[in-house]
A and B are shown apart, each in its own frame.
Chain A
């Protein structure tokens, strides 16, 4: 393991909670509905993060707790029942309904598992109910997906068929590309989890080899292991290096000759490296500071340093699962400063003191830092854009070079800053 400099920090944070992951999960599974059981704050959070107004009727909503629901839990369960009935009669196309716990529902100990169980027997054959917690007292941002996927694992049937299972939400076009590449190197049975339809869950078993596409799925991985799946150790498929090693790790698990893999991906890797080149010209030698948010920070740091030659000042991460991140940590330069957790004020002090060229941060911090003259990239864009895979590596680099390029264009005309 490379000797990275691991630090922990606690204090006030500036990070989304796990409910936010509903924003991409509902797009991945268009036959599912996500019902948050929470407060007006939860409803407001999701609509603020998701631009809900573009939908005639979104496939997520909040059962907002009111004062009378807090008085007695029995009544709250009954009320939730009523809300679900209304929802299902209004939206008969829903096949899977996720009951999503929130901070308030966790604190009052609303038992969503029991509610889901009851509803399952009532709507048997029509709608499936699963529950998980997206609460901010237990999960950050992308961890919500971990909860949702973990909740689906028990519903996955068993099989002894050999297959490669890609785990973690990918953009559909990226998923198609990966499947094609795996086919070309000789892995033909490739499935994805989550699937594109919530009812078409892949079957799993002792011959299932799991390849993680996202780094925030600790609990899901644990449950897949319990079901006999083999977990392939690999870095994550961001950038040419990460994607290549990721594909190679899968090939090794399927005992496919490495030369065969290189034959397939070398042309892709070459053209991607060429495409990265013009972004590298902008990024080379620039100082990068990543604040914790999406949990992709370590992989991004690895890509931006190894392939775009940026200098890493500090890599924040909401939490660190060393088992899952081991391959990534090995690829980082020695002495990379990694900070797990956050004290947002102290971290911003360090940002200012280190005079970075680019800060990756949440939307709450981006404009204030820009106003101080520090270029930023919102981390939320990483979870909404197709950034995985060799073919997307240049686009990924482009996300970081754009703010710097823009800054140069604007400052060279000496426009006033505010």
Chain B
């Protein structure tokens, strides 16, 4: 048993939902009680999706447990297939259904449908979300391609030459609720097409079972996010010889390495090697004099494996920071993160406890934190600027604007996102010069106003109360009941309520403001 106040990853069936919701023409029947439907809001609220996830929850209740929950599963499968007419059906269970062992996948296979059925067995008591996404993607590919891979010859990555067409690749791994996946895909496709390389299929994001069935038309696979796609890429390599890339194109150096790796695998000559350095503004911005102040800034990094490792690389080699902490919650990638930390002469932090991360952050006393939304909150409490580099997703991590992490534009985005929370170079200089002037406010950190939070809400309330008491009251007097009522108004609208009430009292010629006046005014202004 593990005490958890907050978790970086959801259960494995949420990973399966990420894959299912990313795809078209697919439906997922999940044997689960009603509460599990909360997962829909991750997609509809965080990603602002205008469609419901393609998931049917069997919604079994306590009274069903004595009876035939298997019949309930079959009824839901029948209804879902009839209503949604999927081209492939995923069937699985969440934590509670795993305990009652109805084996919904096996049941579904015995129902005589003429569509492929993927039986998802995702152990809820030992695995987590990213593992669930990876396993689901792999099982879909295996189910839809297992016959085909036996029939076709091993795929030679250089076959495009003899086939008389441009080289073609698959981009594997992007999903909904993955960090900036939507924009990374666009950026990578743009980079590849510049090099004369076509995209065969992007999956899971935006693909259908038909697309999965033609994955083997490509010459190589691009494994864009190891957490989701590595198992699938390995299977395709083992069973049909498809090579896959392992460089993650985040940062200038690794974008160039990635392009080189793709070209080597395809045996395609790279014509514009020297141009590549200038595709992004990051190298020049980092070199320009204002960036001098970035030198040796202490940075603490925590996130999923892919983004944490990439961030450490960029921080050290492309921005000249000093990495004072590196860690991940992705146990599957602990080995790689440890290796990256070792190169930096620090010890990696592998944990699922945000309190441990906060402790490590405190001890490392960084000047910048690169982490998840949770580290953003921890850093805020400690008064340290922070930029978010990794899942778990928050509505802010799905910006309206184009905002990739990968490729050239990704490097531009990263420069801005990491440097802006810090004090700008010239600004730092000026503050240092003027800090003894009386106008100078102690604790000033940047133009964005990062300051340590003042503490818990009740202190803020007390502060507000004092402020109400001490302020000049103009021509009207606040009675005790009026003042008491005003302190109960949420602080963010308190000022407005106060001024409205005073305006109201003045207009009515009232000498005093009681709690009743406050409510009169509230009704008056609405």
Chain A residues with CB under 8 Å of chain B are 11-20, 38-45, 47-49, 52-54, 56-58, 60-67, 69-70, 76, 79-80, 82-83, 86-87, 103-104, 106-108, 135-138, 140, 172-173, 176, 180, 268, 271-272, 274-275, 278, 345, 362-368, 370-372, 391, 394, 398, 418
Asked if A76 and B1 make an inter-chain contact with CB atoms under 8 angstroms apart, the answer reads: yes
Asked if B37 and A53 make an inter-chain contact with CB atoms under 8 angstroms apart, the answer reads: no
Asked, given contacts A48-B41, A64-B1, whether A104 binds B56 with beta carbons under 8 Å apart, the answer is no
Residues in A whose Cβ lies below 8 Å from that of B520: 271
Asked if A64 and B4 make an inter-chain contact with CB atoms under 8 angstroms apart, the answer reads: yes
Asked if B96 and A66 make an inter-chain contact with CB atoms under 8 angstroms apart, the answer reads: no
Asked if A137 and B374 make an inter-chain contact with CB atoms under 8 angstroms apart, the answer reads: no
List the 7 closest A-B pairs by CB distance, nearest first.
Answer: A17-B35, A371-B50, A136-B35, A364-B40, A39-B95, A103-B96, A79-B1
> Told that A62-B5, A137-B33 touch, could you supply 8 new A-B pairs with CB distance under 8 A?
A12-B57, A17-B34, A43-B6, A67-B126, A135-B35, A138-B62, A366-B45, A371-B51
Decide if B523 is an interface residue (CB 8 Å cutoff).
yes
CA distance A18 to B5 in the complex (A): 18
Residues in A whose Cβ lies below 8 Å from that of B14: 41, 44
* A46 shortest CB reach to chain B, Å: 9
Decide if B264 is an interface residue (CB 8 Å cutoff).
no
CA distance A366 to B459 in the complex (A): 36
* A399 shortest CB reach to chain B, Å: 13
Asked if A103 and B58 make an inter-chain contact with CB atoms under 8 angstroms apart, the answer reads: no
Decide if B503 is an interface residue (CB 8 Å cutoff).
no
Contact of A106 among B45, B49, B62, B124 (CB under 8 A): B62
Contact of A365 among B33, B44, B100, B515 (CB under 8 A): B44
* A239 shortest CB reach to chain B, Å: 14
Contact of A363 among B44, B62, B99 (CB under 8 A): B44
* B484 shortest CB reach to chain A, Å: 9
Residues in A whose Cβ lies below 8 Å from that of B463: none
Contact of B51 among A48, A135, A368 (CB under 8 A): A368
Asked, given contacts A14-B37, A41-B10, A364-B52, whether A87 binds B3 with beta carbons under 8 Å apart, the answer is yes
Residues in A whose Cβ lies below 8 Å from that of B33: 17, 103, 135-137
* A75 shortest CB reach to chain B, Å: 9
Residues in A whose Cβ lies below 8 Å from that of B51: 368, 371
* B269 shortest CB reach to chain A, Å: 43
* B489 shortest CB reach to chain A, Å: 8
Asked if A49 and B38 make an inter-chain contact with CB atoms under 8 angstroms apart, the answer reads: yes
Asked if B44 and A367 make an inter-chain contact with CB atoms under 8 angstroms apart, the answer reads: yes
* A379 shortest CB reach to chain B, Å: 12
- What are some 30 contacts across the A-B interface (CB < 8 A)? A11-B79, A12-B57, A12-B59, A13-B34, A14-B34, A14-B37, A14-B40, A16-B34, A17-B33, A39-B11, A39-B95, A40-B95, A41-B13, A43-B7, A52-B5, A53-B374, A58-B5, A63-B1, A69-B1, A135-B35, A135-B62, A173-B489, A271-B524, A274-B523, A345-B79, A367-B48, A368-B44, A368-B51, A371-B50, A394-B526
Question: Which residue on chain B has the smallest CB distance to residue A45?
Answer: B38
Asked, given contacts A13-B37, A106-B62, whether A40 binds B523 with beta carbons under 8 Å apart, the answer is no
Asked if A67 and B125 make an inter-chain contact with CB atoms under 8 angstroms apart, the answer reads: yes
Asked, given contacts A14-B40, A391-B519, whether A103 binds B56 with beta carbons under 8 Å apart, the answer is no
Asked if B34 and A140 make an inter-chain contact with CB atoms under 8 angstroms apart, the answer reads: yes
Question: Which residue on chain A has the smallest CB distance to residue B34?
Answer: A13
Contact of A16 among B38, B65, B374, B526 (CB under 8 A): B38
CA distance A45 to B381 in the complex (A): 25
Question: Which residue on chain A has the smallest CB distance to residue B125?
Answer: A67
Asked if B7 and A16 make an inter-chain contact with CB atoms under 8 angstroms apart, the answer reads: no
Residues in B whose Cβ lies below 8 Å from that of A80: 1
Decide if B61 is an interface residue (CB 8 Å cutoff).
yes
* A81 shortest CB reach to chain B, Å: 9
Asked if A61 and B5 make an inter-chain contact with CB atoms under 8 angstroms apart, the answer reads: yes
Asked if B373 and A53 make an inter-chain contact with CB atoms under 8 angstroms apart, the answer reads: yes
Asked if A65 and B60 make an inter-chain contact with CB atoms under 8 angstroms apart, the answer reads: no
Question: Which residue on chain A has the smallest CB distance to residue B52?
Answer: A368
State the main secondary structure of chain A at its contact with B.
helix
Decide if B254 is an interface residue (CB 8 Å cutoff).
no
Asked if B83 and A345 make an inter-chain contact with CB atoms under 8 angstroms apart, the answer reads: yes
Asked if B124 and A363 make an inter-chain contact with CB atoms under 8 angstroms apart, the answer reads: no
CA distance A64 to B96 in the complex (A): 13
* A225 shortest CB reach to chain B, Å: 24
* B362 shortest CB reach to chain A, Å: 12
Asked if B355 and A57 make an inter-chain contact with CB atoms under 8 angstroms apart, the answer reads: yes
Residues in B whose Cβ lies below 8 Å from that of A69: 1, 125
Asked if B34 and A43 make an inter-chain contact with CB atoms under 8 angstroms apart, the answer reads: no
Residues in B whose Cβ lies below 8 Å from that of A106: 62
Asked, given contacts A271-B519, A345-B83, A370-B50, whether A41 binds B36 with beta carbons under 8 Å apart, the answer is yes
Asked, given contacts A53-B377, A57-B5, A107-B99, whether A368 binds B76 with beta carbons under 8 Å apart, the answer is no
Decide if B274 is an interface residue (CB 8 Å cutoff).
no
Asked if A104 and B95 make an inter-chain contact with CB atoms under 8 angstroms apart, the answer reads: yes
* A218 shortest CB reach to chain B, Å: 16
Contact of B96 among A44, A54, A137, A363 (CB under 8 A): A137
Residues in B whose Cβ lies below 8 Å from that of A45: 35-36, 38
CA distance A274 to B519 in the complex (A): 13
CA distance A67 to B13 in the complex (A): 16
Asked if B10 and A138 make an inter-chain contact with CB atoms under 8 angstroms apart, the answer reads: no
**Which of B508-524 touch A at CB < 8 Å?**
515, 519-520, 522-524
**Which of B229-254 touch A at CB < 8 Å?**
none
Contact of A65 among B1, B377, B488, B523 (CB under 8 A): B1
Asked if B59 and A11 make an inter-chain contact with CB atoms under 8 angstroms apart, the answer reads: yes
Asked if B1 and A19 make an inter-chain contact with CB atoms under 8 angstroms apart, the answer reads: no
Decide if B42 is an interface residue (CB 8 Å cutoff).
yes
Residues in B whose Cβ lies below 8 Å from that of A173: 485, 488-489
Q: Which of A42, A63, A79, A140 has the most chain B CB atoms inside 10 A of its CB?
A: A42
CA distance A58 to B4 in the complex (A): 10
CA distance A172 to B489 in the complex (A): 11
Asked, given contacts A40-B7, A278-B526, whether A418 binds B50 with beta carbons under 8 Å apart, the answer is yes
Residues in A whose Cβ lies below 8 Å from that of B35: 15-20, 41-42, 45, 103, 135-136
Asked if B45 and A363 make an inter-chain contact with CB atoms under 8 angstroms apart, the answer reads: yes
CA distance A183 to B123 in the complex (A): 57
Asked if A13 and B59 make an inter-chain contact with CB atoms under 8 angstroms apart, the answer reads: yes
* A143 shortest CB reach to chain B, Å: 11
CA distance A82 to B2 in the complex (A): 10
CA distance A196 to B280 in the complex (A): 57
Decide if B18 is an interface residue (CB 8 Å cutoff).
no
* B361 shortest CB reach to chain A, Å: 13
CA distance A271 to B58 in the complex (A): 48
* B65 shortest CB reach to chain A, Å: 7
* B132 shortest CB reach to chain A, Å: 10
Decide if B94 is an interface residue (CB 8 Å cutoff).
yes
CA distance A104 to B99 in the complex (A): 7
Question: Which residue on chain B has the smallest CB distance to residue A57?
Answer: B5
Residues in A whose Cβ lies below 8 Å from that of B11: 39-41, 44
Question: Which residue on chain B has the smallest CB distance to residue A54?
Answer: B377
Question: Which residue on chain A has the smallest CB distance to residue B99?
Answer: A107
CA distance A70 to B99 in the complex (A): 9
